[in-house]
Amino acid sequence: MENRLEKIKKQLHTSSYKLTPQREATVRVLLEHEEDHLSAEDVYLLVKEKSPEIGLATVYRTLELLTELKIVDKINFGDGVSRYDLRQEGAAHFHHHLVCIECGSVEEIQEDLLEDVEAIVEERWNFLVKDHRLTFHGVCRNCQTKHAEVTPLNPEKTSI
């Protein structure tokens, strides 16, 4: 953890950005909530817990900076808010998401499942792929189980 923080510090310095206490606090929050998909407001509130003097604008500016440096990825699940997701160390590609349409939970897929698809797109559409966003909407494991409790039939795929 401290390790990753150090790395990020270096990345900032390399691009000649200063590491202010506010930026450090923000990065710490992101590291502590790597599983979550925090909105700027979420990050703000969490940072505020430890550094109450921080302003929302600073959080926005920091998140923008981190996005620019590809330390975090900015994502949008269709609700009105941008969410910020720490990149995996050394990940070439953005990871995928499984959004449950019933409970709203978000699961991450770190594996790159798109290699073949990207090859097809590059070849057939002549499009030079630099990044991707893939999100599946559906029913998560938990919510499927809940249904099965109500009507304990064999858990077949429900038709839409």
Q: Which two tokens stand for residue 140?
A: 């998560």
Query: Does residue 56 touch DNA according to CB under 7 A?
Result: yes
Query: Does residue 123 touch its own copies according to CB under 8 A?
Result: no
Closest CB to its own copies among residues 10, 132: 132
Residue 123 neighbours by CB distance under 10 Å = 9
Q: Which two tokens stand for residue 145?
A: 């189980």
Distances (CA, A) of 117 to 26, 110, 135: 35, 16, 15
Cβ–Cβ under 8 Å, residues 30 and 38 = yes
Cβ–Cβ under 8 Å, residues 99 and 61 = no
Query: Does residue 18 touch its own copies according to CB under 8 A?
Result: no
**Residues 82 to 141: which contact DNA by CB under 7 A?**
82
**Considering the complex, what minimum distance in angstroms separates the CB of residue 113 from DNA?**
27
**Considering the complex, what minimum distance in angstroms separates the CB of residue 75 from its own copies?**
8
Binding region for its own copies (CB under 8 A) out of 3-11, 23-31, 47-55, 114-122: 114-122
Closest CB to its own copies among residues 1, 128: 128
| Burial of residue 63 (number of CB atoms within 10 Å: 0-12, 13-18, 19+) | buried
Query: Does residue 80 touch DNA according to CB under 7 A?
Result: yes
Q: Which two tokens stand for residue 138?
A: 């559906």
Query: How far apart, in Å, do the first and last CA atoms of the chain sit?
Result: 43
Positions that interact with DNA (CB under 7 A): 13, 17-23, 39-41, 51, 53-58, 60-62, 64, 80-82
Positions that interact with its own copies (CB under 8 A): 74, 76, 78, 98, 101, 107, 109, 113-114, 116-118, 120-121, 125-141, 144, 156-158, 160
